[in-house]
Amino acid sequence: RSKKLKASMALSRFEYVKQFETDDRCLPNCWIVVRIDGKGFHRFSDQHNFLKPNDDRSLHLMNCAAKQVMTEFKDIVLAYGQSDEYSFVFKINTSTYNRRSSKLMTNICSLFASTFVFNWQKYFHDVKLKYPPAFDGRVVLYPSNQNLLDYLSWRQADCHINNMYNTVFWALVQQGKLTPQAAQERLKGTLAADKNEILFQDYAINYNDLPEFYRKGTTLIREKKEEQITHKIPQQDGTFKEKAELKIKSELVELHTDIIGSSFWNNHPEILTPKLKR
Amino acid sequence: RSKKLKASMALSRFEYVKQFETDDRCLPNCWIVVRIDGKGFHRFSDQHNFLKPNDDRSLHLMNCAAKQVMTEFKDIVLAYGQSDEYSFVFKINTSTYNRRSSKLMTNICSLFASTFVFNWQKYFHDVKLKYPPAFDGRVVLYPSNQNLLDYLSWRQADCHINNMYNTVFWALVQQGKLTPQAAQERLKGTLAADKNEILFQDYAINYNDLPEFYRKGTTLIREKKEEQITHKIPQQDGTFKEKAELKIKSELVELHTDIIGSSFWNNHPEILTPKLKR
Amino acid sequence: RSKKLKASMALSRFEYVKQFETDDRCLPNCWIVVRIDGKGFHRFSDQHNFLKPNDDRSLHLMNCAAKQVMTEFKDIVLAYGQSDEYSFVFKINTSTYNRRSSKLMTNICSLFASTFVFNWQKYFHDVKLKYPPAFDGRVVLYPSNQNLLDYLSWRQADCHINNMYNTVFWALVQQGKLTPQAAQERLKGTLAADKNEILFQDYAINYNDLPEFYRKGTTLIREKKEEQITHKIPQQDGTFKEKAELKIKSELVELHTDIIGSSFWNNHPEILTPKLKR
Amino acid sequence: RSKKLKASMALSRFEYVKQFETDDRCLPNCWIVVRIDGKGFHRFSDQHNFLKPNDDRSLHLMNCAAKQVMTEFKDIVLAYGQSDEYSFVFKINTSTYNRRSSKLMTNICSLFASTFVFNWQKYFHDVKLKYPPAFDGRVVLYPSNQNLLDYLSWRQADCHINNMYNTVFWALVQQGKLTPQAAQERLKGTLAADKNEILFQDYAINYNDLPEFYRKGTTLIREKKEEQITHKIPQQDGTFKEKAELKIKSELVELHTDIIGSSFWNNHPEILTPKLKR
């Protein structure tokens, strides 16, 4: 008996350790971005024989995981992904998890990772997942719309530059039969224009004709769609009368388009506007 | 051509957004604890028909995921788990990820979650995983050994109290045929001693005879083991001579024991001692 | 000799303690507000027989100290003071002290306090300063212009409410001969309108006729002033020719006006506009 | 009437801006050190013709201000000062200002600065203070006793090295008639031993004979002193009987001694011991 009493007393005796936890709420009225990155995905892609320079299966699986995150977190207004990274943008005045930074990043990271494994087979079919991957994450705050747009532009410019490099690099290796070291050496100091030239002259590849899926990455947004639903209303005479109703539903939409220029934002003003009134 | 040049210029034009990232390194010379919790595991356990009050499959799967985390993060000196939570303790002077809080918690959370899904079938066999679970995480710093021990005691006392409650609650529901509401009502205001009494009188259960696996949770530590390896050394005459060598290997050990009292710590002084020299 | 060598070695042996300092830079592109408050000024004003409800000497001394702060910190674009508090607003993209929070608040607080003592006699004449006062300070970040305006409105509304209360309270005590307790009791639960009524009916005071200095607090801004300077240019024939030049100088201006409404901000658009380009 | 009502409504409408303030409580069970530094004291000492290498008036004034800080903040257990800096050490479990970092550093900085000005004349007599000085401050946390001792050792080693440099430098300039540039050049790359040699050979100064006040800086601690107080107790017959009582009083003590070695700490065990029980 006394043993149990002691346990409960113990609980209260030890509870002081809760005071060592810190308050990590994000500054109000800032855009909250959670960016996640695959940990050690160079090795991971080697181990699972990812196609180079882009592996559709992997990119679609990343998008699938990102959609799951957006389905769970309704306050994410946009997500942008490329390669093994994804950025999730919460609406500026979200109160999800009381804006607590740790809660936001760990929930998103772990849900992304578990969804990635959960849906692996759906995309990789008979390629077996050899080990469970990790993703690291961080929270970054952006006070103004312009800062947020510049953040997203930064990621998309990064996608562009990496994809162009990888496209040439793997052309040199796969078609040009160069060793990776030789390919790397060949590309040292080249500008985008030079890479374009190599692709076009040596491999007859027009970079701009490559799929936007690779060149622009993936942007996920929500779109309101009207949907006509037809109800059958029973009538007094035993027959049914059809009654149409318009319902507005929010749907995830996957885009592969430029988000650096203004036209994307002009076409989707609702992404930035549900700002704090003040 | 100018398009590409613009892209690379764009990158540098946008890179200022990196300055919005903050430095979140943990104070040196403190124990870093990362605690993770299953998100919405009440529903998750319902959906997957977890056995009550304890489901061995789930507990073993949690332990399996925790071991994977310890295998990846060599500076974790101890992990303690119970129910749907796990605490990982880094050695006091770890420089893993430069002690960056976000890196530590997101990597651990996501690796735990992906391992949980990866190994689901191994423990749940033909029970299908219906959806990928998330885990939230946090980092807490403890400056002194005593603070750390009190933290771990707090979690084990919590395990004890919850497990006793759940044991009686489910006895009342499963054997006593009470509704959950009635069982809850029955237990309102009871002390540990009262719960013990109900178990013993009405259901002939001696709480202290229940497995320590349930009552104490799981403690994972590393133990140095000596292993004798025999090399065959080729001799001049063409024969081989055997040469024994002792190698010290570190192994993960799973314990279900009291960590509130001092005897566990006296038996494993190495956990706390590789402290900063200063 | 070895003793000195040891000292220098000692320095490097101990320098690791610098790693315990944390980076406290403010989020970029946010308005940085440093607010300071007199510590224990209730007692301080009693000890120095401040006139009630407002002591001009004290208010002018506060303004003098605030001007000194603005003279030292060129990136402060506005300061607002009332009673024993002052708020300093840095331009949104200031890089003063690399935006380090501790540096900003401690420098301002200590400069304000030392200036307060330095200039005491100038305002209080033969009233001797009995002890040196302290001021506490804090840094608050505001991401948007509207947040900043609301912050300043909050302080000015606070000034209004306190000043009205104090005006009635001290009328009741000084002219009405009530005890402080009785005056407090009399005012419990009264609205602004009730207080206005008491002032007007019982003491023939029209609150709105009181000086704006008391009702609105003090706003300090910088105003660009053109100043005509005449140079005498020596000529070849030994005479001088006068040459006029317009120089633009920035001057501190002290206002006692409403800053809640929009007209102040419309008249001084330059306060908010030197925003980050992006 | 409506105007006043609006004001009070305004207050509540604007109060949301308080949510932008952050919680900056220091981690429990760590030593809190507040270090302050004179801002621009090179210029300040020039402007007020400080004696070189050490100006007693300035050092005593610094100590006076530090004592005022310790008198106000009872939880400061030790302060260490040298040149234009001072470090204040709060007891490890202090709850002063709820351990809020901003409150602690701004109160100390501003009180130090205002006391410095308040007492200027007492130390500098007819030298007029030309302008009010500022001090910047910071908070640093140290988890262990050893970290704290190393921090203090770091400051005292710094004092030693700077003081030796300054002593030789000013001997070269004042007695050796070198220009400051020449003196600096002469000392480039010299070790402590070399400096010692210059002092001894060229200026017959034995560095170790210089006052500890300069070589060791100032350490302020509290010492419990017993004091015998005599009460006169009135007797029934109208006479008085004397009754002695021992009262323990805490007094500030100023030391100029080595705090790097262990003997200081052995002689004053109470400084480190009133640690958290746990």
d(Cα B19, Cα B213) in Å, to the nearest integer?
Answer: 48
Q: What is the SS3 string spanning A100-155? A: EHHHHHHHHHHHHHHHHHHCHHHHHCCCCCCCCCCEEEEEEEECCHHHHHHHHHHH
Place of tokens 């809020």: D100
pLDDT for the residue B278: 41
Burial class (CB in 10 A: 0-12, 13-18, 19+), B241: exposed
Per the CB < 8 Å rule, is A147 touching C278? Answer: yes
Which residues in chain D (131-150) have CB-CB distances under 8 A to chain B?
141-144, 146-147, 150
In order of B199, C116, C209, C220, D253, the CA distances from C58 in angstroms are 73, 9, 21, 16, 36
- Please state whether beta strands D135-142 and B218-234 pair in parallel, antiparallel, or not at all (unpaired): unpaired
pLDDT for the residue B230: 86
Q: Percent of chain C beyond pLDDT 90?
A: 83
Give a yes or no: residue D10 inside a domain: no
Smallest CA-to-CA distance from A271 within A57, A90, A34 is with: A90
In order of A43, C189, D234, the CA distances from D245 in angstroms are 79, 52, 16
Summarize the confidence of residues C53-81 as an average pLDDT: 98
The Cβ of residue B105 has, within 10 Å, a number of other Cβ atoms equal to 27
- Contact residues on chain C for A147, CB-CB shorter than 8 A: 29, 278
Q: Looking at the partner chain, which of D28, D141, D150 has a beta carbon nearest the beta carbon of B278? A: D150
Note whether A244 contacts D: Cβ–Cβ < 8 A. no
Per-residue pLDDT in tens (0 to 9) along chain D, 278 residues: 345 455 566 678 999 999 999 999 999 999 999 999 999 999 999 999 999 999 999 999 999 999 999 999 999 999 999 999 999 999 999 999 999 999 999 999 999 999 999 999 999 999 999 999 999 999 999 999 999 999 999 999 999 999 999 999 999 999 999 999 999 999 999 998 999 999 999 999 999 999 999 999 999 999 988 888 888 888 988 888 888 888 888 999 999 999 999 999 999 999 998 644 44
Structure tokens at A252: 């995830």
pLDDT for the residue B1: 38
- Contact residues on chain C for B25, CB-CB shorter than 8 A: 22
- Contact residues on chain D for B276, CB-CB shorter than 8 A: 144
d(Cα D237, Cα B19) in Å, to the nearest integer?
Answer: 84
Q: Which chains touch B (3 or more CB pairs under 8 A)?
A: A, C, D
**Is the Cα dihedral C86, C92, C95, C101 positive or negative?**
positive
The distance of B121 to chain A (nearest Cα, Å) reads 11
In order of A14, C108, C213, D179, D181, the CA distances from D45 in angstroms are 53, 20, 39, 19, 19
Which of A71, A114, A122 is most worth mutating to test chain B (most B CB atoms within 10 A of its CB)? A114
pLDDT for the residue D8: 63
Enumerate residues 6+ apart whose C-beta is below 8 A from D188: none
pLDDT at position B26 over 60: yes
pLDDT for the residue C273: 83
In the sheet that holds C218-234, the strands lie side by side as C135-142, C31-38, C85-90, C76-82, C218-234, C240-255
Which residues in chain C (195-224) have CB-CB distances under 8 A to chain D?
195-196
Structure tokens at C183: 């005056």
Tell me, what CATH number does C112's domain have?
3.30.70.3000
The distance of A98 to chain C (nearest Cα, Å) reads 18
d(Cα C161, Cα C215) in Å, to the nearest integer?
Answer: 9
Give the CA count within 13 Å in the CB-facing half-sphere of A214.
18
Q: How much is the ipTM here? A: 0.91
Give a yes or no: residue D121 inside a domain: yes
| E strand residue ranges, chain A | 31-38, 76-82, 85-90, 135-142, 218-234, 240-255
Contact D37, C21 (CB under 8 A): no
- Contact residues on chain C for D138, CB-CB shorter than 8 A: 21, 102-103, 106
Range of the domain at C78: 31-155
Q: Which chains touch A (3 or more CB pairs under 8 A)?
A: B, C, D
Q: Looking at the partner chain, which of B19, B23, B25 has a beta carbon nearest the beta carbon of C28? A: B19
Q: Looking at the partner chain, which of C132, C154, C191 has a beta carbon nearest the beta carbon of D17? A: C154
Q: Looking at the partner chain, which of A11, A110, A142 has a beta carbon nearest the beta carbon of B109? A: A110
Contact C58, C64 (CB under 8 A): no
pLDDT for the residue B127: 97
Residue-wise pLDDT tens digits, C144-186: 999 999 999 999 999 999 999 999 999 999 999 999 999 999 9
Number of domains chain D is built from: 1
User: How open is the CA angle C60-C66-C71, to the nearest 5 degrees?
Assistant: 125
User: How open is the CA angle A163-A167-A168, to the nearest 5 degrees?
Assistant: 125
Summarize the confidence of residues B107-131 as an average pLDDT: 98
Q: Report the Cα C212 to chain-centroid distance in Å.
A: 16
pLDDT at position C16 over 60: yes
Average pLDDT, chain C: 93
Give the CA count within 13 Å in the CB-facing half-sphere of A201.
6
Give a yes or no: residue B25 inside a domain: no
Give a yes or no: residue C74 inside a domain: yes
- Contact residues on chain A for C141, CB-CB shorter than 8 A: 27
How many Cβ pairs within 8 Å bridge chains C and D? 209
pLDDT for the residue A6: 57
pLDDT for the residue B10: 67
Structure tokens at B173: 């529901």
Note whether B22 contacts C: Cβ–Cβ < 8 A. yes
Which of B29, B151, B260 is most worth mutating to test chain D (most D CB atoms within 10 A of its CB)? B29
Could you give phi then psi for residue D201, rounded to 5 degrees?
-70, -45
If you measure CA to CA, which chain C residue comes closest to D147? Answer: C17
Which residues in chain A (251-270) have CB-CB distances under 8 A to chain B?
260
Q: Looking at the partner chain, which of B27, B142, B276 has a beta carbon nearest the beta carbon of D141? A: B27
Smallest CA-to-CA distance from C90 within C133, C40, C34 is with: C34
If you measure CA to CA, which chain B residue comes closest to A193? Answer: B1
Q: Looking at the partner chain, which of C20, C25, C29 has a beta carbon nearest the beta carbon of B28? A: C20
Helix, strand or coil for residue D256?
Answer: coil
If you measure CA to CA, which chain B residue comes closest to A73? Answer: B134
Q: Looking at the partner chain, which of A27, A146, A150 has a beta carbon nearest the beta carbon of C143? A: A27
Note whether C14 contacts B: Cβ–Cβ < 8 A. no
Per the CB < 8 Å rule, is C143 touching A30? Answer: yes
Which amino acid makes up residue D152? L
pLDDT for the residue B94: 97
Per the CB < 8 Å rule, is A143 touching C146? Answer: no
- Contact residues on chain D for A20, CB-CB shorter than 8 A: 27-29
Smallest CA-to-CA distance from B167 within B256, B54, B44 is with: B54
Q: Looking at the partner chain, which of A36, A102, A157 has a beta carbon nearest the beta carbon of B7? A: A157
Q: Looking at the partner chain, which of B16, B23, B278 has a beta carbon nearest the beta carbon of C23? A: B23
The distance of B275 to chain C (nearest Cα, Å) reads 16
Give a yes or no: residue D270 inside a domain: no
d(Cα D189, Cα D186) in Å, to the nearest integer?
Answer: 9
The distance of D51 to chain C (nearest Cα, Å) reads 23
- Contact residues on chain C for D141, CB-CB shorter than 8 A: 20
- Contact residues on chain C for B141, CB-CB shorter than 8 A: none
Give a yes or no: residue C69 inside a domain: yes
pLDDT for the residue A21: 97
- Contact residues on chain B for C16, CB-CB shorter than 8 A: 278
Note whether B194 contacts A: Cβ–Cβ < 8 A. no
- Contact residues on chain B for C22, CB-CB shorter than 8 A: 23, 25, 27
Per the CB < 8 Å rule, is A27 touching C27? Answer: yes
**What residues does D234 pair with on adjacent strands?**
D240
User: How open is the CA angle C115-C118-C123, to the nearest 5 degrees?
Assistant: 100
The distance of B17 to chain C (nearest Cα, Å) reads 9
Note whether C12 contacts B: Cβ–Cβ < 8 A. no
If you measure CA to CA, which chain D residue comes closest to B149? Answer: D278
Q: Looking at the partner chain, which of C27, C150, C278 has a beta carbon nearest the beta carbon of A278? A: C150
Q: Which chains touch C (3 or more CB pairs under 8 A)?
A: A, B, D
Query: Please, which pLDDT band fits residue B275 given cuts at 50, 70 and 90?
Result: very low
Q: What is the mean pLDDT of each run of 10 residues along chain A (278 residues)?
A: 55 93 97 98 97 97 98 98 98 97 98 98 98 98 97 97 96 96 94 92 94 98 88 88 87 97 95 62
Note whether C106 contacts A: Cβ–Cβ < 8 A. no
How many Cβ pairs within 8 Å bridge chains B and C? 17
Smallest CA-to-CA distance from D67 within D246, D257, D230, D254 is with: D254
Q: Looking at the partner chain, which of B28, B143, B276 has a beta carbon nearest the beta carbon of D29? A: B143
Residue-wise pLDDT tens digits, B45-96: 999 999 999 999 999 999 999 999 999 999 999 999 999 999 999 999 999 9
Per the CB < 8 Å rule, is C147 touching A30? Answer: no
d(Cα C193, Cα C168) in Å, to the nearest integer?
Answer: 12
Per the CB < 8 Å rule, is C5 touching D113? Answer: no
Q: Looking at the partner chain, which of A16, A20, A27 has a beta carbon nearest the beta carbon of D20? A: A27
pLDDT for the residue D25: 98
pLDDT at position C278 over 50: no
Average pLDDT, chain B: 93
Give a yes or no: residue A44 inside a domain: yes
Contact A133, A42 (CB under 8 A): no
Give a yes or no: residue D240 inside a domain: no
